[in-house]
């Protein structure tokens, strides 16, 4: 039987994970992500899906991040109505992420209509909240490690670390086992379990976000303590654009630990992101899926004030007392972080802490690259604040971590596709895999279709 694998996303970039497996007359899509970052990539979200969405039998989601799940409402809008299998943690996080994404798309469309940036009147969103709700109804939770029978195929979800509910997925066809790594988390992480490899794969798709980098293993807690103490001692505010799901919770957890251990003062900490607040509550409802359930959560996020209303958020920009603000979005592409950046970016006393990877084309990447000014809401804001990027808090394994995960397979997979990375990262991991295992790894091209009998 022929197994065809098509790389409809995350093949020349870190976003838009979509892999279509066609086998025995069935079509299964593994991940259904949005393209994000550069406009040229985001425009791909508007192209027709290469096969009729109604012809796809099922979707398997590795995890809830939008670059893996955020295209689902669009697929549903275009006719997909099959089941979407994912872990319970992923299902719960998708509820907040997909509805929020739909809301942002509606807002974008409204703005385009208002400003006349559109050939359609009114402008149409990529999808709306009704599409997101329709997609959410398709989610079917599966347990980690419990085999899922899919009409001749067998799938298994295994812990990948990374974020709550994140999985690597193995799919067994009659002829071969194909493993999709999803996003691999870090070994010995403070907050998440270790990623677990599968024993066997004939074909492996491995992510390469940090394929060309080794993380700074210096003590993240010590660095965070220094930044917070130093900034607040000079009367400044530490502003942290953080992914609402995962990163925000890790930061709150570490900051609270630093306070309890007396390593920083009792500085006010604000979690200013409704989505991050909702995500924190979901983390609390899945205590077995992470390592933050300290003292039955009495201490985990207790030190932070939740900021829910827009008025309270705006009031925070007026409050000039030393403090820490954790807000979204993580790459400063939108959300409440923008009005905080407008208020805090110019002042030398403040610190902007970028706690992870910043994709090209985002304000976060510009800040990380040392930009002198940043455009926010049409205005250029000069950068006076100290900008610090910390890679220690990344939810992604670095090159060594990816290789360590790969070492866990009983024997190296015969065929390895390196995906989900910028060109240099994917190529560096490809070379490292060749050196470590002797296997010829391949970086596939966008939209490439591979007959797995011929590799």
Contact residues for Zn ion, defined by CB under 5 A: 65, 183
Instruction: Give a three-class secondary structure readout of 101-127.
Output: HHHHHHHHHHHHHHHCCCCCCCCCCCC
The nearest distance, CB 162 to Zn ion, in angstroms, is 6
Q: At what angle do helices 423-437 and 399-407 cross, to 10 degrees?
A: 40
Q: CB 331 → Zn ion: shortest distance, Å?
A: 13
8 A C-beta contact, residue 264 and residue 305: no
Comparing CA positions, the residue from 101, 52, 48 lying closest to residue 80 is 52
Pairing between β-strand 441-442 and β-strand 415-419 as defined by DSSP bridges: parallel
Cis? peptide before 146, omega within 30° of 0: no
Q: What is the dihedral of CA 262, 263, 265, 266, to 10 degrees?
A: -60
Cβ atoms 91, 151 nearer than 8 A: no
Q: Give me the residue whose beta carbon is nearest to Zn ion.
A: 65
Shortest spacing between CB 25 and Zn ion, in angstroms: 31
Q: Dmax of the chain from CA atoms?
A: 67
One DSSP character per residue, 358-392 reads --TTSHHHHHHTT-SEEEETTEEEE--SEEEE--T
Asked if 417 and 444 touch (Cβ cutoff 8 Å), the reply is: yes
List residues bridging with 327 in a β-sheet: 241, 272
Nearer to Zn ion, 131 or 183 (CB): 183
Asked if 339 contacts 254 with a C-beta cutoff of 8 angstroms, the reply is no
Closest CA to 170 of 65, 64, 21: 21
- Closest CB 377 distance from Zn ion, rounded Å: 28
C-alpha dihedral sign at 366, 367, 373, 378: positive
Inter-helix orientation angle 337-344/310-318, to 10°: 10
Whose Cβ is closer to Zn ion: residue 183's or residue 422's?
183
Q: Which helix (H) or strand (E) holds 20?
A: strand 19-23
H helices within 286-385, ranges in order? 310-318, 337-344, 363-368
Characterize the bridge pairing of strands 139-142 and 148-150. unpaired
Taking the C-alpha atoms of residue 154 and residue 172, their distance in angstroms, rounded to an integer, is 5
Nearer to Zn ion, 65 or 323 (CB): 65
- Identity of the residue, 27 or 391, whose beta carbon is nearer to Zn ion in the bound complex: 391
Buried residues in 181-208 as b, exposed as e (16+ CB within 10 A):
bbbbbbeebbbbbbbbbbeebbbbbbbb
C-alpha distances in Å from residue 281, one per residue of 88, 324, 325: 14, 20, 18
């Amino acid at each position: 039987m022929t197994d065809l694998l098509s790389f409809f996303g995350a093949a020349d970039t870190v976003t838009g994970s979509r892999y279509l497996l066609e086998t025995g007359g069935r079509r299964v899509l593994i991940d259904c992500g949005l393209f994000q970052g550069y406009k040229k990539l985001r425009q791909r979200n508007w192209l027709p899906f290469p096969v009729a969405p109604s012809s796809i039998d099922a979707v398997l989601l590795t995890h809830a991040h939008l670059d893996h799940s955020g295209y689902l409402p669009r697929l549903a809008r275009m006719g997909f109505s099959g089941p979407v299998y994912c872990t319970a943690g992923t299902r719960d996080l998708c509820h907040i992420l997909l509805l929020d994404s739909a809301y942002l798309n509606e807002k974008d469309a409204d703005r385009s209509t208002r400003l006349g940036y559109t050939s359609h009147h009114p402008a149409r969103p990529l999808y709306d909240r009704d599409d997101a709700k329709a997609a959410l109804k398709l989610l079917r939770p599966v347990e980690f490690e419990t085999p899922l029978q899919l009409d001749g195929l067998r799938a298994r979800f295994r812990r990948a670390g990374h974020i709550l509910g994140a999985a690597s997925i193995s799919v067994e066809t009659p002829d071969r086992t194909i493993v999709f790594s999803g996003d691999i988390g870090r070994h010995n992480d403070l907050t998440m379990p270790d990623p677990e490899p599968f024993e066997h794969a004939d074909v492996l798709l491995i992510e390469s976000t940090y394929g060309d980098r080794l993380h700074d293993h210096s003590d993240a807690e010590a660095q965070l303590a220094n930044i917070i103490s130093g900034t607040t001692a000079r009367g400044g505010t530490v502003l942290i654009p953080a992914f609402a799901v995962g990163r925000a919770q890790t930061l709150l957890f570490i900051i609270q630990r630093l306070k309890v251990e007396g390593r920083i003062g009792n500085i006010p900490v604000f979690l200013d992101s409704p989505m991050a607040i909702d995500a924190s509550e979901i983390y609390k409802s899945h205590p077995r899926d992470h390592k933050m359930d300290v003292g039955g959560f009495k201490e985990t996020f207790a030190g932070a004030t939740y900021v829910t209303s827009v008025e309270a958020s705006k009031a925070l920009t007026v409050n000039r007392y030393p403090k820490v603000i954790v807000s979204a979005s993580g790459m400063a592409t939108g959300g409440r972080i923008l009005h905080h950046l407008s208020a805090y970016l110019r002042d030398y006393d403040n610190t902007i802490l970028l706690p992870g990877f910043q994709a090209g084309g985002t304000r976060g990447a510009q800040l990380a690259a040392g930009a002198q000014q940043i455009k926010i809401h049409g205005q250029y804001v000069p950068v006076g604040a100290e900008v610090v990027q910390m890679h220690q808090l990344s939810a992604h394994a670095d090159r060594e971590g990816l290789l360590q995960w790969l070492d866990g397979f009983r024997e190296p997979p015969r065929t390895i596709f390196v995906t989900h990375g910028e060109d240099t990262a994917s190529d560096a991991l490809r070379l490292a895999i060749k050196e470590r295992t002797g296997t010829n790894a391949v970086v596939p091209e966008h939209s490439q279709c591979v007959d797995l009998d011929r590799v």
